[in-house]
Structure 1
Amino acid sequence: MMAGHLLEVRGLSVDFHTAQGAVHAVRNVSWHLDRGETLAILGESGSGKSVSASAIMNLIDCPPGDIDSGEVLFEGRDVLKMSDEQRRQLNGKRIAMIFQDPLSHLNPVYTVGFQIMETMTTHGVSKADARARTLELMERVGIPDFGTKIDAYPHQFSGGQRQRLMIAMALALKPDILIADEPTTALDVTVQAQILALLEELQKETGMGLLLITHDLGVVAEVADRVVVMNSGEIVETGSAAEVYRNPHHPYTKKLISAVPGTGGMAASLGTGIRPLLDVQGISKRFGDFLALDEATFTVLPGETVAIVGESGSGKSTLAKALLRLIEPTSGAAFYDSRDLVTMPPKELFELRRDIQMVFQDPTQSLNPRMSVYQIVSEAFAIHRDILPKDRWQGRVRELLEQVGLDASHMRRYPHQFSGGQRQRIAIARALALEPKLIICDEAVSALDVSIQAQVIRLLRGLQERLHLSYLFIAHDLPLVRDFAHRVVVMQAGRIVEQGPVRQIFEAPQADYTRSLIAASLHPDPEVQAERRAVRELRREA
């Protein structure tokens, strides 16, 4: 490699020592980052991308972690050979990092202003100057009412605002390098677009190098100059964002690109004249003076996938919970097979829950960690005792696990012993145990890697074809909705602003809000995304 790079990683290897032996998390990794450049490290969970960044920031726990070999050169100096004191002077001031989940990395008992100021006072800035700089930063990253919000706590901000606060904290001392570890994964498309635009704008202002860790090819297409693709701890491909997308060489890169949603055909509408399985009429939910759900009306046909899309706070999850009576609707009706879910007495509702099941966003939280897979899936039979004799439970659990593509011999294992995609398959098996007719999927694949996400969607589609299932599919990933749904319901601020067949929504949207959502969605092809960006800028200037 040529000399003079702002940051250069040479032959880095990191091992983690476990009871089962050494895990080679990173193996002989080399790459570089220049000033003003954006380098994306692309790969799925377990690829080693975050471990590489943690080694740069000295965030690897040693033990069990061990940097086996390599150099990390910042302006020609090997940071791995620096003392702890030297690293403290470097981290935050010259090299900063923002994390995927800001709520986990912001201290809940301190105000956000204190936490941003602490970044500066630790490096010798006076409290008065630090507070003034904090107010300036909060305004710069777009925090409303920053003058009063400086004394607010993390839980008082939305997810997008918390990520903006993390960016403000990272940029407090104008670092030369910003490491962004999955900074937009859990954000809505419009908020994601705002965060990426903010990072790009701040980079132009300061000339910092941006190291972006992601599994999202759309994010790569939007902001990256170069890409490093990692798999199983190794670099398998490098090149410009356009080169890697247009002409991938490694099978793993090809697999990632082929799994990206939003480029396939769209499903045809099931047609008219079919009696709805679910007929929702004017469902509303009020929390005190706040109207969270305002007269939602739509239908779901047998064997149909209806997607509910919209940003956080639009009322999607409130709608799902109201339909399941996990919260009580304030008004309206929801007829399932001609019976009103809203007024149904508890005993009848209990029986009906066999027909309507739910798969939640985070299987780590929705699966009981103290129960084995067998206990989790068979719990439905224990609750609804008339479904299946106990001597047939094990055989049925085996069938269900095989149906969702899991090894039935693993039914005695516990949730923590499975990957995220496998845990979501367990959640789907649990939902299928009662042979439902309608499954509500609340962001069921949003936290999964792109190839695992594609596998789960293929599974759901296959189950729908075989079992004639209906899905109410809540999501903020519009390319995924485009590929999977038959019809789309668009929600904003608790109201349905538009609904229709998937082709109509994506090719001829009527509502301004729908158009803004689609415009903010990222395309994995850098050339297509560059054209979209140019159109956005022209509209902004106009």
Structure 2
Amino acid sequence: MTDHLLEVRNLSVRFHTAAGIVDAVRNVSWHLDRGETLAILGESGSGKSVSASAIMNLIDIPPGEITSGEILFDGNDLLQQTAEERRQVNGKRIAMIFQDPLSHLNPVYPVGWQIAETMRVHGKDPAEANARALDLVRRVGLPNPQQALEKYPHQFSGGQRQRIMIAMALALKPDILIADEPTTALDVTVQAEVLALLEELQAETGMGLLLITHDLGVVAETADRVVVMNRGEIVETGPASEVYHNPRDPYTRRLIAAAPGKGEMRDGNSQGKPLLEMKGVEKAFGSFQALKGVDLTVFPGETVAIVGESGSGKSTLVKTLVRLIEPTAGQATWNGRDLFAMSLKEMRPVRRDIQMVFQDPTQSLNPRMTIFEVISEAWRIHKDVVPRAQWRTRVAELLTQVGLLPDHARRYPHQFSGGQRQRIAIARALALEPKLIVCDEAVSALDVSIQAQVIALLDRLRRDLGIAFIFIAHDLPVVRDFADHVLVMQSGAVVEKGTTREIFENPKSLYTKTLLASGLDPDPEVQAKRRAERKELVDA
């Protein structure tokens, strides 16, 4: 028997791949108590999600194989139970929410049906299950609960879909909730709301919360204890505050050092004539006004960050800039000409000067093309940039410039990590020697050390090549370290703008103050003060 609610002992998991055996988890041991929040912290490939998958019996066997260990729940080893016995535990006693709710919600069924299904599968009466689904939707804070039950997943925002996943997980009042990167890529205010909701529900039910994350800020906000994993092994464990302030392992120290938001802020870098001036930009989708008279100015070699929640108009603004969507009104002056007045044929040579790097390189890189083909594709369109005979040499130079190897040109996108794929996307953007690169949430889903490397790369390119950046982000510590100027957008309008130092040290609008207070700091003591400040702003 065990005194802990859940105890993992000497767990080892390996995968048989074409390249050989991969030991994903090696002799891992930890425990979770009732009412406790345990965070498993680590970067991609550390083994944290594999450990959680073993608890829920979600490892595909083969190619996966659990080679040793015990997972004790209420004194019973889950690894020794039959499939039928595991079904009585999974969902009912131990539940899980995932990083990308859209991938785990069925697109052809209303969300109310899906929430109730969890209960019907475990023997609840349909009428009782439907009533409980309505109560859960109301409890997790979705607007118009009765109507929400009849909607489909695509009709909700990312934060709302995560709330639906939480409702499904809590339907049967589990003893343990496993949250695998539950706030990655969410806006700062939505992230704060989701974490506060989990904490509130945990206080009500007394459940144990196992939080899988790569975000030190999430650990500081929620965790009682933290387990740090690297390359399948536990390298450090202890109370969250102790691990942050007195890390013993070199890997933990590197993670903490890589956390953004501690660098010197900039006071602006506006020199010479503006590279881009957008004035009075508006965009309407039917009766909905997505942009309301937005002004934006970018100077050569300058980084302008645009921050705000989903639906604030950030991405819509830059899509009008590159004419992916047409504006309703306004001007965008580039080299003395209005981009909005140009024909698509006239826009074509301008596009080489304005490039974009998107949030998800997996979706923006063609999986059927080699990296050489991905980078050189632009030269097939803009034939005057690089002579064909120099393509291979230039691709090798670009890969080296972004910290990759020339030999990588022969590989395909799926053969790289997320951080490496984002570097390839940056190399592709650099291929046309642009004057301005638009980064649309380009680092939001990356591990903290990879994120730091990509930001350092972008900053070096800005200094060495004089490239200007428009940087859309919800990660305020990254903005603090990287940007010269900041625009704060809400509901399609600019509510505040200024130098990075002005915005972060002396915000004027209540919305900006709320955004800053919602950001997560990796220091648990600083985060506790920020949480109190956020509560005061909400109460006000």
TM-score norm. by structure 2 comes to: 0.99
Q: For the residues of structure 2 that align with 1:31 and 1:209, how far apart are their CA atoms? A: 13
- 1:253 maps onto 2:244 in alignment: no
477, 485, 490: which one pairs with 1:487? 485
Q: SS of 1:15's equivalent?
A: strand
Q: SS of 2:196's equivalent?
A: helix
Counterpart of 1:166 in structure 2 is 165
Counterpart of 2:283 in structure 1 is 285
Counterpart of 1:430 in structure 2 is 428
Q: For the residues of structure 2 that align with 1:208 and 1:48, how far apart are their CA atoms? A: 24
Shift of 1:468: 0.5
Counterpart of 2:458 in structure 1 is 460
Q: Which stretch shifts more, 142-151 or 341-350? A: 341-350
Residues 385-418 of structure 1, C-alpha deviations (whole Å, 9 max, x = no match):
1222211111111111111111011101110111
Q: SS of 2:289's equivalent?
A: strand
Shift of 1:19: 1.5
Corresponding letter in the other structure for 2:112: G
Q: 1:176-191 to 2 correspondence within 5 Å?
A: 176-191=175-190
- 1:130 maps onto 2:129 in alignment: yes
> Relative to structure 1, is the Cα distance of residues 267 and 541 closer, same or farther in structure 2, using a 3 angstrom cutoff?
closer
Shift of 1:24: 0.3
Counterpart of 1:204 in structure 2 is 203
Residues 80-109 of structure 1, C-alpha deviations (whole Å, 9 max, x = no match):
000111100001110000000000000001
Counterpart of 2:375 in structure 1 is 377
477, 493, 496: which one pairs with 2:494? 496
Corresponding letter in the other structure for 1:311: E
Residues 442-461 of structure 1, C-alpha deviations (whole Å, 9 max, x = no match):
00111111100000000000
Q: SS of 1:17's equivalent?
A: strand
Once superposed, which parts of structure 1, at least 4 consecutive aligned residues long, lie more than 6 Å away? none
Counterpart of 1:110 in structure 2 is 109
Q: For the residues of structure 1 that align with 2:301 and 2:205, how far apart are their CA atoms? A: 53
Q: For the residues of structure 1 that align with 2:183 and 2:267, how far apart are their CA atoms? A: 31
Q: For the residues of structure 1 that align with 2:535 and 2:499, how far apart are their CA atoms? A: 30
Q: For the residues of structure 2 that align with 1:12 and 1:56, how far apart are their CA atoms? A: 10
447, 469, 473: which one pairs with 1:449? 447
Q: For the residues of structure 1 that align with 2:180 and 2:499, how far apart are their CA atoms? A: 36
Q: SS of 2:340's equivalent?
A: coil
Shift of 1:541: 5.7
> Relative to structure 1, is the Cα distance of residues 349 and 303 closer, same or farther in structure 2, using a 3 angstrom cutoff?
same
Shift of 1:535: 3.3
Corresponding letter in the other structure for 1:145: N
Q: For the residues of structure 2 that align with 1:388 and 1:444, how far apart are their CA atoms? A: 26
Corresponding letter in the other structure for 1:66: E
- 1:64 maps onto 2:63 in alignment: yes
- 1:242 maps onto 2:241 in alignment: yes
Q: 1:304-453 to 2 correspondence within 5 Å?
A: 304-453=302-451
> Relative to structure 1, is the Cα distance of residues 174 and 485 closer, same or farther in structure 2, using a 3 angstrom cutoff?
same
Q: For the residues of structure 2 that align with 1:539 and 1:308, how far apart are their CA atoms? A: 22
Q: For the residues of structure 2 that align with 1:27 and 1:529, how far apart are their CA atoms? A: 33
Q: SS of 1:165's equivalent?
A: helix
> Relative to structure 1, is the Cα distance of residues 538 and 300 closer, same or farther in structure 2, using a 3 angstrom cutoff?
closer
Root mean square deviation, CA, Å: 1.1
> Relative to structure 1, is the Cα distance of residues 256 and 16 closer, same or farther in structure 2, using a 3 angstrom cutoff?
same
Residues 367, 413 of structure 2: 8 Å contact kept:
yes
- 1:83 maps onto 2:73 in alignment: no
Residues 518, 531 of structure 2: 8 Å contact kept:
no
Shift of 1:345: 2.3
Residues 178-232 of structure 1, C-alpha deviations (whole Å, 9 max, x = no match):
0000000111000000000000000000000000000000000001000000011
Shift of 1:350: 0.6
Counterpart of 1:521 in structure 2 is 519
Identical counterparts, % of pairs: 70
Corresponding letter in the other structure for 1:165: I
Corresponding letter in the other structure for 1:121: R
Counterpart of 2:95 in structure 1 is 96
Q: For the residues of structure 2 that align with 1:372 and 1:222, how far apart are their CA atoms? A: 42
Residues 10, 68 of structure 2: 8 Å contact kept:
yes
Q: For the residues of structure 1 that align with 2:439 and 2:539, how far apart are their CA atoms? A: 40
Q: Which stretch shifts more, 165-174 or 343-352? A: 343-352
Q: For the residues of structure 1 that align with 2:386 and 2:478, how far apart are their CA atoms? A: 36
Residues 366-386 of structure 1, C-alpha deviations (whole Å, 9 max, x = no match):
011111111111111111112
Corresponding letter in the other structure for 1:417: Q
Q: For the residues of structure 2 that align with 1:336 and 1:440, how far apart are their CA atoms? A: 15
Q: SS of 2:391's equivalent?
A: helix
Q: For the residues of structure 2 that align with 1:203 and 1:509, how far apart are their CA atoms? A: 34
Residues 485-536 of structure 1, C-alpha deviations (whole Å, 9 max, x = no match):
0000011111111111000001111111111100100110001111222333
Corresponding letter in the other structure for 1:324: V
Q: For the residues of structure 2 that align with 1:326 and 1:537, how far apart are their CA atoms? A: 40
Shift of 1:539: 5.2
Q: For the residues of structure 2 that align with 1:425 and 1:396, how far apart are their CA atoms? A: 16
Q: For the residues of structure 2 that align with 1:537 and 1:464, how far apart are their CA atoms? A: 38
TM-score norm. by structure 1 comes to: 0.98
Number of equivalenced pairs:
540
Q: SS of 2:356's equivalent?
A: strand
Q: For the residues of structure 1 that align with 2:538 and 2:369, how far apart are their CA atoms? A: 54
Corresponding letter in the other structure for 1:95: I
Residues 422-479 of structure 1, C-alpha deviations (whole Å, 9 max, x = no match):
1111111111111111000000111111100000000000011100010000101011
Residues 123-145 of structure 1, C-alpha deviations (whole Å, 9 max, x = no match):
11101111111111100000110
> Relative to structure 1, is the Cα distance of residues 465 and 274 closer, same or farther in structure 2, using a 3 angstrom cutoff?
same
Counterpart of 2:52 in structure 1 is 53
Shift of 1:148: 1.6
- 1:39 maps onto 2:38 in alignment: yes
Shift of 1:275: 1.3
> Relative to structure 1, is the Cα distance of residues 27 and 440 closer, same or farther in structure 2, using a 3 angstrom cutoff?
same
Q: SS of 2:410's equivalent?
A: coil
Q: For the residues of structure 2 that align with 1:162 and 1:538, how far apart are their CA atoms? A: 27
Q: Which stretch shifts more, 82-91 or 530-539? A: 530-539
Corresponding letter in the other structure for 1:426: I
Q: SS of 1:411's equivalent?
A: helix
